[in-house]
Structure 1
Amino acid sequence: MSDAAAYIKKDKRITDNQVDTLAGYLYWLSILGSFIAGGISDRIGRHSTIMWTGGFFSIGTLLMGLAYNNALITVGRIVNQVSIGSALAIAPVYIAEISPDSSRGSLTSLPEVAINFGTLFGYLCNYFISKLKSRRHFLVGLGAISPFLVTIGVFTMPESPRWLVMQGRSGDANDILERTYNSQHEASRRLAEIEEAVGNMQRTGRGVWRELWLHRSPFVWHMIICVLGINIIQQALGIDIILLYSNRIFEKAGVTSSNEKLFWTIIVHIVKATFFLIATGYLDKVGRKKLLLGSISATTVMLAALGICLNIISDANNIIGDANKSHEEHNWAVAYCIPLLLLYVASVSSGVGPIASVYSAEIFPLRLRAQGYAVGIIANQVTGLALSTIFLKDYHATTAVFSFMVCGFFAFAFVYFIMPETEGRALEDIWKLFVEYFVRRSTAGERERQRDIGAVEAAAMELQRNVEAMEAGTRSTAGDIELQRNTEAAEAAARVDTEASP
């Protein structure tokens, strides 16, 4: 969008605020697609939903490419963006449900890897054919090829075995599991676990949205918190906002030519796609939580360093008033801006980027998975929209970068204390992690409560002893006073007797 925004602004002669509004509309359309995708996939299947999504995406792209007026272009864009939102909500769920446990993390992150390489390919196309007069029609035509191929390829893909079990088609599910796992015994064991999970969930008798929001158990609420948290974190670290307006950071670093900006944008996306791909190889070896903590830590450090450099350049511009002279005065800060931006992108892409979708797709029970994952995607996109509204109406790069850095500290604490590790666990067993977490917290809370009760009882007993001691002391003092009085009375009587005797 950063490259497209520049051409849209130039061709349509619109302002920055209008570009921001256009980006906001795109977010809302994606949110709509994500919202409806979960329920649709529960009814017609993950496989069919992906196939229809690819078909609609192809139609939308062709409408934009062949349109002769802005109205048809707008309709095509609406169809496209709703399809994108649907695909984002369903593809990771489908892959998580069909993958073996040992490689589920790597495989589930592949849609994110494909998105990043697709984005990179789009920028490369922009770079090499930017001189063509029919540039828009040519690029849109290229864009229609990939969803069409995906739609054709989906015909060869099997349906999710877990969805098939939900529909009572255990035989078909077993055939797919035998192709997925190494042995028939393992496939049969996994089928039995899925059937047990489906049997348990069907006895609840509640709708999915009711179970997610109205009648949720404590551990389902914990799952929702984790999904909302990791998706908000991904946006709160600023990756989409910074990339969307990366051209402005390049300008701070002294890059003024449009071709140079596009070149560095391509470099940024090469780094992003490469580290996404590298991260997929470690998700099932290192674990989700460790990669997240390392990624968030590195991202926070890079944001701090980038913010310092941008702040120095901004202050120099304000004092000197000449950007060229300020760049000469602070060459080191200018020189570090782009490398720090690349390191920041690498840090996010090596953990937070791919893990958000993986974690969200695997922690919910089967009955809640599709729509629970959609909740995470919606939270991700709403957060992105909110951040674009907050930071970009009066955009200041330094303020945005330091704000994202502060979010990094809260993100680290959230992952460390709230999110359990899911690596290596079967999909049907992951919910037990959240039950165990709740039981541990409840047990710990009960122990703490018992300790507090014991402390209160001990304090009460000590107070009682003090009161008794005071009472005993008071009685003793009263006895001494009475004895003293009696003694004095006896002495007085003796004196009287003595004086009275002859």
Structure 2
Amino acid sequence: MTEAEAGRVNIAFIAAIVAVATIGGFMFGYDSGVINGTQKGLEAAFDLGKLGIGVNVGAILVGSSIGAFGAGRLADLIGRRSVMLLSAVLFLISAVVAGAADSSAVFIVARIIGGLGVGAASVISPVYISEVTPAAIRGRLSSVQQVMIITGLTGAFVANFALARYAGGSTASLWLGEAAWRWMFWLQAIPAAIYFVALLFIPESPRYLVVKGRAADAEAVLVRLFGTSEAQRKVAEIKGSLAADRHKPKLSDLIDRNTGRIRPILWTGIGLAVFQQLVGINVVFYYGATLWEAVGFSEDYALQTNILSGVLSIGACLVTMGLVDRIGRKPLLLIGSAGMAVTLGTVGYAFSTAVTAADGAVSLPEPFGLVALIAANLYVIFFNLSWGPIMWVMLGEMFPNQIRGSALAVAGFAQWIANAAISVSFPSLAVSPGLTITYFGYTFFAAVSFLFVRAMVHETRGRELEEMAG
């Protein structure tokens, strides 16, 4: 794009579209984070043990993995915006039913429904954003997704903290005689409704429209985004990138016709998706309050610590937005992997010093409580400076047009399966073999992720989507 053409880019319209699309990221974060702080309520209401807590917390991940896989393919059939609208409806249903659940079974079903929305939003929002933004600032705008995910998480943490403090505890009665933890879920209905209404005012992805043979509609959208001459050029580019594969996108496109093997670019996408979870970040997001209470923090202070982690995460993502289109994706991933390996190892060592008093209370001796807190928050910063936003940026842009929906379906499914494995296993692992060994395990995966990035990841900074090769 020339300097003159760049001047005709409708930045205000693009920013508005990105803002709406990333409400899906906010919902993703809120729905994932709201569980953090409700676990005492769930345990008391449904008489749950450690395994039961793990299943109820992890239920959303079952829906998320299905939603991510189905959304990628569904987006190729009915469009990116239509899938986001569906996810908004799922968020709304989940919020109402989860808060009203009178049994663990009903709650699990509600969380699976919410998970379908989370999974869909997690893979479609980045794709949509990458397909409507200029290459020069695509990384920056795609990173907004992670900012909104963390904002949603932090919003859930703040809401949980405020409701629990106002009621006198997460299990205490609040409005209409209902426990505070139920209101933590019901509040989610407000942003879900806003998301649905806002989506009605943004256009469909022009690349999807070209694939569907609606070139005139695609050009009309592109004119609003980039101006007339650039719109015509982009329509021609998109058509050219699809010329070798005139059939409708399908999962079998992920197999290289010449070799009969899965395309290497898909393995890279799966690796990025899985390693983002194997470093254990969602243990902090889902179990933060429980984790800090396990080493001697009060419920009130543990919830405040969650808020601190959320604020630091947002700050780190904002730094990434300023760097991703300047220094590139791969350098940030490498920095993040190295930083996470060091900080996770430090957290693991700090937890190894935990002592148990005669009354069974667990605490970290000085100065290791402070060391653990600082190292854990530095870990969160390194994650959100790198793997948090960059994984979503790359999955949204690294695949060729023909396979983007299918590849996102598979990579998104893998991401949520890894998320489920880490999240559901944590309560049991925290008991045996314990927090120290568990965190050293996450340290190992962070170190391996560094080697993976060096060997498998290729830079995509500044490249048009039509230039991506598989």
Task: Give the TM-score of the pair, scaled to structure 1.
Answer: 0.78
Contact 2:313 2:380 in 1 (8 A): yes
Aligned residue for 1:281, secondary structure, equals helix
Among 183, 207, 210, the alignment partner of 1:162 is: 207
Say whether 1:13 aligns with 2:69.
no
Higher Cα Rg, which structure: 1
Among 216, 224, 227, the alignment partner of 2:266 is: 224
Among 235, 238, 255, the alignment partner of 2:277 is: 235
CA separation in 1, counterparts of 2:425 and 2:184?
Answer: 32
Residue-pair matches, total? 422
CA separation in 2, counterparts of 1:141 and 1:13?
Answer: 21
Match of 2:193 in 1: 148
CA separation in 1, counterparts of 2:350 and 2:161?
Answer: 29
Contact 2:289 2:299 in 1 (8 A): no
Shift of 1:207: 5.7
Q: 1:345 and 1:218, CA in 2 relative to 1: closer, same or farther beyond 3 A? A: farther
Q: 1:233 and 1:128, CA in 2 relative to 1: closer, same or farther beyond 3 A? A: same
Among 246, 253, 259, the alignment partner of 2:288 is: 246
CA separation in 2, counterparts of 1:171 and 1:113?
Answer: 34
Match of 1:456 in 2: none
Aligned residue for 1:30, secondary structure, equals helix
Q: 1:41 and 1:342, CA in 2 relative to 1: closer, same or farther beyond 3 A? A: same
Structure 1 counterpart of 2:228, one-letter code: Q
Structure 2 counterpart of 1:412, one-letter code: F
Contact 2:54 2:425 in 1 (8 A): no
Aligned residue for 1:266, secondary structure, equals helix
Say whether 1:414 aligns with 2:452.
yes
Say whether 1:61 aligns with 2:103.
no
Q: 1:140 and 1:233, CA in 2 relative to 1: closer, same or farther beyond 3 A? A: closer
Aligned residue for 2:326, secondary structure, equals coil
Q: 1:74 and 1:379, CA in 2 relative to 1: closer, same or farther beyond 3 A? A: closer
Shift of 1:369: 0.6
Partner deviation per Cα, 1:99-127 (whole Å, 9 max, x = no partner): 11111112222222212111211221111
Match of 1:469 in 2: none
Q: 1:342 and 1:97, CA in 2 relative to 1: closer, same or farther beyond 3 A? A: same
Partner deviation per Cα, 1:313-354 (whole Å, 9 max, x = no partner): 13xx27x87888975xx4122221111111111111110111
Shift of 1:69: 7.0
Match of 1:200 in 2: 244
Partner deviation per Cα, 1:9-28 (whole Å, 9 max, x = no partner): 13322111111122333211
Aligned residue for 1:158, secondary structure, equals coil
Q: 1:31 and 1:397, CA in 2 relative to 1: closer, same or farther beyond 3 A? A: same
Q: 1:280 and 1:297, CA in 2 relative to 1: closer, same or farther beyond 3 A? A: same
Aligned residue for 2:327, secondary structure, equals coil
Contact 1:89 1:370 in 2 (8 A): no
Among 385, 396, 407, the alignment partner of 1:350 is: 385
Aligned residue for 1:156, secondary structure, equals coil
Say whether 1:293 aligns with 2:334.
yes
CA separation in 2, counterparts of 1:70 and 1:397?
Answer: 27
Q: 1:332 and 1:72, CA in 2 relative to 1: closer, same or farther beyond 3 A? A: closer
Say whether 1:429 aligns with 2:464.
no
Give 1 or 2: higher helix fraction.
1
CA separation in 2, counterparts of 1:392 and 1:73?
Answer: 19
CA separation in 1, counterparts of 2:445 and 2:107?
Answer: 38
RMSD: 2.5
Match of 2:413 in 1: 378
Q: 1:103 and 1:249, CA in 2 relative to 1: closer, same or farther beyond 3 A? A: same
Structure 1 counterpart of 2:292, one-letter code: F
CA separation in 2, counterparts of 1:342 and 1:146?
Answer: 27
% identical aligned pairs: 27
Structure 2 counterpart of 1:286, one-letter code: I
CA separation in 2, counterparts of 1:117 and 1:12?
Answer: 30
Q: 1:178 and 1:5, CA in 2 relative to 1: closer, same or farther beyond 3 A? A: same
Among 270, 280, 292, the alignment partner of 2:311 is: 270
Contact 1:56 1:80 in 2 (8 A): yes
Q: Which runs of 5+ in 1 are unaligned?
A: 435-502
Shift of 1:89: 2.2
CA separation in 1, counterparts of 2:38 and 2:260?
Answer: 45
Match of 1:492 in 2: none
Structure 1 counterpart of 2:411, one-letter code: G
Match of 1:210 in 2: 252
Match of 1:363 in 2: 398
Contact 1:299 1:344 in 2 (8 A): yes
Task: Give the TM-score of the pair, scaled to structure 2.
Answer: 0.83
CA separation in 1, counterparts of 2:332 and 2:213?
Answer: 38
Match of 2:6 in 1: none
Contact 2:429 2:438 in 1 (8 A): no
Shift of 1:391: 4.5
Among 80, 93, 98, the alignment partner of 2:114 is: 80
Structure 2 counterpart of 1:277, one-letter code: L
Contact 1:54 1:151 in 2 (8 A): yes
Match of 2:366 in 1: 331
Match of 1:488 in 2: none
Say whether 1:179 aligns with 2:221.
no
**Please, which moves more after superposition, 367-376 or 78-87?**
78-87
Match of 1:477 in 2: none
Aligned residue for 1:195, secondary structure, equals helix
- After the TM superposition, which parts of structure 1 deviate over 6 Å for at least 4 consecutive aligned residues? 67-71, 320-326
Among 188, 192, 198, the alignment partner of 2:232 is: 188
Contact 1:53 1:83 in 2 (8 A): yes
Structure 1 counterpart of 2:139, one-letter code: G
Whose relative contact order is higher, 1 or 2, with alpha carbons under 8 Å and at least 6 apart? 2
Structure 2 counterpart of 1:401, one-letter code: Y
Shift of 1:193: 0.7
**Please, which moves more after superposition, 364-373 or 382-391?**
382-391
Contact 1:252 1:334 in 2 (8 A): no
CA separation in 2, counterparts of 1:253 and 1:185?
Answer: 61
Structure 1 counterpart of 2:315, one-letter code: T
Match of 1:127 in 2: 161
Q: 1:10 and 1:273, CA in 2 relative to 1: closer, same or farther beyond 3 A? A: farther
